[in-house]
Amino acid sequence: MGYDDTTVRAEPVSDWVNDWDWLDPQWGTDAIDIWNAVREITPMAMTERYGRAFMPVTMDAVSAIAKDTENFSSQWVSVAQPDAVRRPAPPITSDPPHHQGHRRLLLPSFSPKQIEPMEDELREYCRGLIADLDGRDTADAAADYSQHIPVHGIAQMIGVPDSDADIFRDWIYRNFQLAPRDNRIREEVTAEMRAYFLKLLEAREAEPQDDLATLVAQAEMNGEPIDRELQFGYLLLLILAGIDTTWSAIGSGLWHLGSNPDDLARLRGASFDDPIWLTMSEEVLRYYAPVTMGRRVVGDTTVSGCPVHAGDQVLVTFPAANHDPESFDRADEFVIDREVNRHVAFGLGIHRCLGSNLARLEMKVAFQEWCSAFPDYRVDTAQETTWTSGQIRGPRNIPVVLR
């Protein structure tokens, strides 16, 4: 991506209880084993790599932090260098009482009433991606398929062209993979996003259209126009939270099915209204939940007996909570027809994911169309599947044999 990787290297982690690092390559490949091993020792791991930061790995600890807006602020939504510049991206970076107004502004656009009509067009888009693979025996299920779908979905809603997808992918890579350790990169990529979206907002102010960019450009709160920087924050959130998260979930599901033929066989021939698609998608969200969030400690308190102090950071590890055996029967197994599945892949409390309806639709359609087209595909184990570490974990390439 044009950056010297020496700026973001760090010593490998050898002690995940006292020196964790979510950017360590082991996190990408072995995160589930890491969380389970830490949980055997403590409910809260810690590190000094980003200043003092904690990582809960139980449902009780994760839930306590996510629901406590008095002692844990969402102004910092990722674990990074303490002096990192943090830009507002409401509602995810806002605390009460301001949070509700920001969320109320965007929430109607992601209601089932608004999202469900997108299904037919989304199916056609997925079928077009699959048609591009016609005649091929192998593919990369991530680069050729899963990484396109959420970009298309969110671009359609915001009102930006699919042709800018490579720009969005570059922003996502630098923001999530490099910026947590390198403030210079954080500032550079934020400046690029700011310039892009301020230009878009100015265009929509001059010529309104039926899209989210126009809604944001015209947004008011309490009868007053919303500040342009906050408008930028809304669009920043939609791009960063609406793309990599869902393509990681879709990619994880495709990797799983291509690695577990018995589960893939359960879907073969299933009609699109068969409940198996729902339970499978929800189990992908539980087992492979891609997203962790950050919090800044603003009040001295304790979590599961562990003291935390104002100024500390916390990584709210929702995926680790999804593997807590105290909360899930057979937590260590992927159960494709799991009936009781109260996972927290979309978060807990007031910041529960705004776009969960869109993500679920994109996952359902992506899985149904792919598995219908390639009912016997498999992951090519002769080639490596790479997984990203950091705030959003998922496969970045998935070599598959299609037939």
pLDDT tens digits, 264-300: 999 999 999 999 999 999 999 999 999 999 999 999 9
**What are the φ/ψ torsions at residue 40 (nearest 5 degrees)?**
-70, -20
Nearest CA-CA partner of 280 in 306, 302, 253: 253
The domain tally of the chain equals 1
pLDDT, averaged across the chain: 94
Cα pseudo-dihedral 51, 57, 63, 66, rounded to 10 = 30
Write down the pLDDT at residue 86.
84
Give the residue numbers spanning the domain of 44.
Answer: 5-401
Q: Give the strand pairing for 72-73 and 138-140.
A: unpaired
Residue 381: is its pLDDT beyond 60?
A: yes
Q: In sequence order, what are the residues at sequence separation of 6 or more whose Cβ sits closer than 8 angstroms to the Cβ of residue 99?
A: 74, 90, 91, 350, 351
Query: The CATH number of the domain where 370 resides is what?
Result: 1.10.630.10
Write down the pLDDT at residue 355.
95
Residue with tokens 């082991």: 26
Report residue 4 CA to chain centroid gap. Answer: 26
**Residues 61-65: what's their mean pLDDT?**
98
Residue 305: is its pLDDT beyond 70?
A: yes
Give the amino acid at 56: P
> Could you give the 3-state DSSP secondary structure of residue 306?
strand
Write down the pLDDT at residue 10.
81
Q: What is the pLDDT of residues 175-222, one digit of tens each?
A: 888 888 888 998 999 999 999 999 999 999 999 999 999 999 999 988
Q: In sequence order, what are the residues at sequence separation of 6 or more whose Cβ sits closer than 8 angstroms to the Cβ of residue 121?
A: 156
Q: In sequence order, what are the residues at sequence separation of 6 or more whose Cβ sits closer than 8 angstroms to the Cβ of residue 149?
A: 122, 125, 126, 129, 246, 247, 250, 362, 365, 366
